[in-house]
Structures are given as structure tokens and as C-alpha cells.
Amino acid sequence: MKSILITGASGFIGSFLVEEGLKKGFETYAGIRGSSSRQYLKDPAIRFIEFDFSSLEKVVATLEDCKRRNIRFSYIIHAAGITKANHKGDFERVNCQNTIHFIEGLRKTGMIPEKFVFLSSLSAFGPGDPKTYKPVMLSDLPRPIELYGKSKLDTEHYICSQNDIPWMIFRPTGVYGPREKDYYVFFKTIGRGIETYIGREKQVLTFIYVKDLVRLIFDALNTEITRKSYFVADGKEYTTEEYAEITKRIMGKKTLRIRFPRWIVKSLAFILENIYAPFGKIPTLNMDKYRIMSSMNWRCEIKPLEDDFNFKAEYDLEKGVKETYTWYKANNWL
């Protein structure tokens, strides 16, 4: 039986990856922290391993313990990471340094798997050209516009330079679905009857429903392909207004549209960031957030997914939002 380790298993994407691992008949190991919630990891077939990636020594100790217990991983999906941080250095420490410790530890203990999948992000490349609206291509020069994306890109650079690691890198655009907490805020805002925008320019968004992403990753494990990276999106694109229209229709809500001029949001983000700076902290509205919210083109190239994995998303936004909304309602999130 093949085995799989999923790090970040307690998170949104990780918990779906664990479910798929079990469904596919893998011996499935959930890599979590001592403090991680097991709310979505209730299946008794899940085997837990507590990882502390903060030092190479700690990773090695955990992997040595796995070896003693005859645990080997055919595949590893490294989904542990942060998309938000309180302190500027956290992105680099958690997303990049921890991944380096993990990979060095795998090498040191002779535990390198048949495939090591790293969950990066479209943010590692940054948005596309706001004038031409051309999609970001694999051949483009990466231009992350914020610390999160930069930390993912730094991690990618490290991984790609490791000749003995059979890596694959997936760079999803915004992932949404049940259990997700960022798009959830948008649902809540619409629920309150408010629809907010920054500026008047057309903003093009892309999405991937969590179940499509997870299916794609498992299909990729099943191929001979390694040492390749891919952007992941559902192949459709939506303006911010279309996204709101779909969500409103499904939620049965009418809203008041409020448009903030860019300069107001930018100034506020700048001021807040400077107030928090002496404490080494990052406010919720910060310059990185502003850059993301005010980037007009989040299209990306996905043809390689079709070519290599015959990938076709089963969920468009309408279907995905419907399922997500139903879950939020059923779980009293809305």
C-alpha cells in the first residue's frame, strides 16, 4: 500500500487532501502541530504525526522516530504554510525556512519520497499585466508584490535547486470551498448587504474550488512527471462584479455597492502599517493587502494542466459557491 504524508493537514486545503488520501486507499499520515485543531480530521484511519519544522534537529528527530516505527512516505504533500502573518519575518520563517528544514531532514534521514509536492501560490509570480490583461505565463519572470508571495518564491528557488528531490510545485490562484475562512469574509459582507470595491478599473479574478485542486494533485502523483511547476485555476475568469453577482444570487441577497477610491485605501494601509511598524506587527489592512486588492489581473496559464494531467475543473464559480454557501449555512457559519 502506498503511503502519503500531508503537512498542514489541519488546515483548509490540508484537510481535504487527507480525505482524498483516505478515499484513494493510501496509508494517510496527517502532519500537524501539537496545537493544531483536529476538527476536520476525525476519520479513525488517519495516522497523526506531530511535526515541529522550526529546526532541522527537530525535523530529524521526528523522521528518525518514523523510521524506528517503520513508517515511510511514498509521497509528501507539503501544505503547511501561512498566508497571513502578525510579524513581517513570519512569512520567510514559516513558508521558506521551515520547508528547507523539512527537506534537509528528509535527506539526512534517507526519507526522500517518490514525490514531494509543494503548495506554492500564484502570488509567487504576482499578478499579470493590468493593461493587456494577459495571463501570467510559466515562462514569465516571477514578480511577487508582497512578502507572502516572495516567501513562496524563495522556497521554490530552494526546492528547484535540489537535484535529488523529485519535486512538483503547484501555484493555485485563490482556493475556495467549505471550511475556508478568507472568502468566507466576503460571504459575510454580502450577507450584511454590503458590496465593497476599490477604484473603478476592471479587476479580473480567477478561482479554483478546493475539490478540483485536490483531485488534480492526486492525479499528478499518479504520473511519472517530476520537477515541473504549474499554475492552478478553474479555467474561467470573473470580474469582481461578476463574482459578487454570483454570490448575491446564490445567497438571495441585495446589496449596497460602496466604491472606495484607491488613494483612500492606500493611504489608510500606509498609515496603519506605520503605526504598527515600531511593534514589528502587521495590521489587517496593510500595503501588501492593498497591492493584492488593487491588482487588476489575476489570470494565469493553465494549459499545461490540461496537457499533462488532462485536467478539467468540475466546478465553476456558480457550482462552487453554491456548495460552499450550503456548507457555511449547514455549519452555522452564516
Ligand X SMILES: NC(=O)c1ccc[n+]([C@@H]2O[C@H](COP(=O)([O-])OP(=O)(O)OC[C@H]3O[C@@H](n4cnc5c(N)ncnc54)[C@H](OP(=O)(O)O)[C@@H]3O)[C@@H](O)[C@H]2O)c1
Comparison of 37 and 55: residue with beta carbon closer to ligand X: 37
Could you tell me the smallest distance in angstroms from the CB atom of residue 19 to ligand X?
A: 13
Are the C-beta atoms of 92 and 141 separated by less than 8 Å? Answer: no
Minimum CB–partner distance for residue 232 and ligand X (Å): 8
Q: How far is the CB of 6 from ligand X (least distance, A)?
A: 9
Distance from C-alpha of 49 to C-alpha of 63, rounded to nearest angstrom: 10
In the bound state, the residue with its beta carbon closest to ligand X is 11
**Residue 110: CB minimum distance to ligand X, A:** 23
For residues 321, 218, 112, 139, the Cα torsion angle rounded to the nearest 10 degrees is: -70
**Strand pairing category for 27-32 and 115-119:** unpaired
Q: How far is the CB of 274 from ligand X (least distance, A)?
A: 27
CA 209 from chain centre, in angstroms, equals 11
Would you tell me which residues interact with ligand X (CB under 6 A)?
8-14, 33, 35-37, 53, 79-83, 94, 98, 119, 121, 172, 174-175
Cβ-based nearer residue to ligand X, 14 or 178: 14
Sign of CA dihedral 80, 81, 87, 92: positive
What DSSP assignment string belongs to 222-287? Answer: TSS--SEEEEE--S--EEHHHHHHHHHHHHT---EEEEE-HHHHHHHHHHHHHHHGGGTB--SS-H
Nearer to ligand X, 34 or 252 (CB): 34
**Helix, coil or strand: residue 172:** strand
Give the span between the Cα atoms of 215 and 314, in whole angstroms.
10
The CB-of-50 to ligand X minimum distance in angstroms stands at 10
How open is the CA angle 232-48-56, to the nearest 5 degrees?
75
Are 32 and 48 a contacting pair, CB within 8 Å?
Answer: yes
Nearer to ligand X, 106 or 255 (CB): 106
Closer Cβ to ligand X, 237 or 255, answer by number: 237
With respect to ligand X, which residue has the nearer C-beta, 262 or 319? 319
Taking the complex as a whole, the smallest distance from the CB of residue 261 to ligand X amounts, in Å, to 27
Contact 209, 320 (CB under 8 A): yes
Indicate the residue among 82 and 160 with the shorter CB distance to ligand X.
82
Number of Cβ atoms within 10 Å of the Cβ of 135: 20
Phi/psi-derived region of residue 280, left when phi > 0, alpha when psi is between -120 and 50, beta in every other case: left
Question: CB of residue 99 vs ligand X: minimum separation in angstroms?
Answer: 9
Three-state SS string across 45-65, please? CCEEEECCCCCHHHHHHHHHH
Closest CB to ligand X among residues 165, 208: 208
